Every structure is written in C-alpha cells, then in structure tokens.
Structure 1
C-alpha cells in the first residue's frame, strides 16, 4: 500500500472514531508516524482527504449498483442483497454520513457532485424498477411519478439512517444491518405484486 492510500485508510479510521472536527492532518500524520510535510505532499488540506474518501465511497456505490443492474433477473432478494452491501459501505464510511450536511457545506464540490450523483442514480434505479415491473415483481397499475418518489425515500433512508440510529436505538453494526434491510423492504411493500 502506498503512502497516499495509507493516509486515506488512517484518516478513515480516525474520522470514524473521533469525527471530523477533532482530527487534523497533524493527527493523521502522527497516527502514521510520518511528518506533516510528508502528508501534505499528498494532501494539502484535511478537506482534500475528505474529498478523496467521498470519491472512494461514490465509486464503491457505483460498482454495487452496476453489479445489480447487470444481473439478468432483479427481484426483492437482489434488492435486499444490495441494501446489505450498501449498508456495509455506509458503515465503513460512517463519518461521511454522520457529518454529511456539514461536509457538503464545507466542501462545495461534494455538494455539487452529490446533487449530480442523485440525479444519475435516480435514473439508474428507475431503470431497475421498470425491469421489476416487466418481470411481475412490482405492480403495473402505478403512475410513473411514483418511482422517483420511491428513489428519494431510498436515498433519505440510506443517507441518514445511520444518524437516526445514533440518536435513537444505537444498534450495533450487525443488528443495525438487519433493521436497515427490514426498513428498506417495508418501503417496497406497497409496490409489490400480491
């Protein structure tokens, strides 16, 4: 693993443990036992590290969605598996989700990227949903305007469920994954064929 990747992995661990307000590039350098100058050779500012970690998360989510879209058959088991893999990513990059609004205001590039990303992913999910309608998983009697609203609900739960868990139930990662999957399934329930 090269120095840049080591910095990102150390930053991810520290941000997940202590949040973004207390961890500086000096903390990350000390954690890695390298000089701040060496760290700054790779990343000038803390925000550059956060932006890189966000980019890694976005790429990982893209890969998961592409895997799902490439499957011959997409059913509710497929959606359940995608939700579990998505939750694992959320938990791995949990500092981003727990501080997402603050990060998006602090780093405008992330806010703009996320906006474009949600538009693209909405189109991708709607294509998957249309396949599920054609295969008889979803009801065919619903208006098209329903599907973007469902995607928006999915984003809200996926992006902010971890914050809700922190403020309410405080479930462990394993129990949280079970609850998250159940919540996702319940959102799909009204759209399923009997």
Structure 2
C-alpha cells in the first residue's frame, strides 16, 4: 500500500498555530508556546517563520484563498433564496474555521498593515456579493427594495456576519469553543443575517423564508 507522505514541518506549524489562535486568542499565543507544542526548538520554528506575524500572514493567505473561492454568485442565472442561504452557511463555516481573525480583528489590524489592506478588500468583495444577491432577488420579483435599501442591506449583512462571532464570544466566552455552541452560533448568525432581508421578500420566496426561519428557530430553542 502507498503510504501518505508526512506533512512538512511548516504545514504542521500553521495547522497547530491556527488551532491555538482559535482556542486561546492570537494575542495569548507566542512563538515559544507554538514551538513547545510542536516539540521543536525555537530555532527550528524561526527557520520556517521569521516571527508570529509571519505565521499569522501565512494563515491569512490560506483564509483569503478559501474565501475568494466561495465569494461567488451564479453566472448563468439569477440567485434565489436557497443560494443566499447556502452562501451564508459556507461563509459562516469558513469564518468559524478561522475565527481568531474575526475575534481578534481590531488588535490584528492595528499592528498588521498587510492584514488591514487585504481585509478591507475582502469586506468590499463581501458587500459586492451581498448586493448582487439582493439585486438578483429583486430582478426575479422576489424582493421589493430600492437601490438605496439594497446598498444598506448589503452593508448591514456584512457587518453582522463580520462581527457575529465577537458578539457570541461576549455572550458566552466559556462555551465559545464547544462544538454544540459553535453549531448554534453559526445557525443564529445565518438567521440574523438573512432576517434582515425578510421584510423585503414577496410571494413564494417570502413563504419559503418563513418556513426556513421557523425550522431554524425550532432547532435553536
């Protein structure tokens, strides 16, 4: 049988660092802690990464590549409510996988110029996609909203999605990393974002929104 090649030390450092940053917060983890958890010398770690910011930036490159892949809308048809629902789910799942970037966002951006510039681009891209989704719903007659209302909706959807995990952390920091708490948090986040467009929906799409909302609210009780 073919044996799977062992992961390179650099990849293992990134994987471990992401887990530690997510569980304990990036400001609370040093390169010394990472090296000790890896059971390698600090010199070995510095061979692969100059400092902790270098590790953070490398993780961010992975995150950026993944979010660019999911920040898309259908090219051959207008988006519908199921597309919006799916888009929110995969976005929140990715945010959770890299949750330290969002929980420690202000601190990271205040001292990392690269992250500041690139995160602005991601927010702009998210807003553009949210606006396109709303415009598609309006185009197929499922939504009644002016251009100004859609602009406000797109911005609000991105704001809630971006800061949702910070809000959840403040609500219950001791259960933040528990699996069930995570699943409930993602569900609440999806619902809160989608609920913003609910009042603008019409016809069968409005009925579908109500059905989906009722199902989610039952799960969260």
Q: TM-score, normalised to structure 1's length?
A: 0.88
Aligned positions of 1:1-194 closer than 5 A: 1-66=7-72, 68-70=73-75, 72-139=77-144, 142-168=145-171, 172-194=181-203
- The alpha-carbon deviation at position 148 of structure 1 amounts to 2.3
Instruction: Say which structure, 1 or 2, has more relative contact order (CA 8 Å, 6+ apart).
Output: 1
Change (3 A) 1:65 1:116: closer
Name structure 2 gaps, 5 residues minimum.
Answer: 1-6, 204-221
In 2, Cα distance between the equivalents of 1:87 and 1:61? Answer: 10
Q: TM-score, normalised to structure 2's length?
A: 0.78
In 1, Cα distance between the equivalents of 2:182 and 2:18? Answer: 17
Structure label with greater radius of gyration: 2
Cα deviation, 1:105-152, whole Å, max 9, x if unaligned, reads 01111111122232233233323332222222222xx32122222121
Q: What is the root-mean-square deviation in Å for CA atoms of aligned residues?
A: 1.9
How many equivalent pairs are there?
191
In 1, Cα distance between the equivalents of 2:151 and 2:159? Answer: 12
SS at structure 1 position matched to 2:147: coil
- The alpha-carbon deviation at position 70 of structure 1 amounts to 4.2
Cα deviation, 1:79-114, whole Å, max 9, x if unaligned, reads 112211111111111111111011010111111112
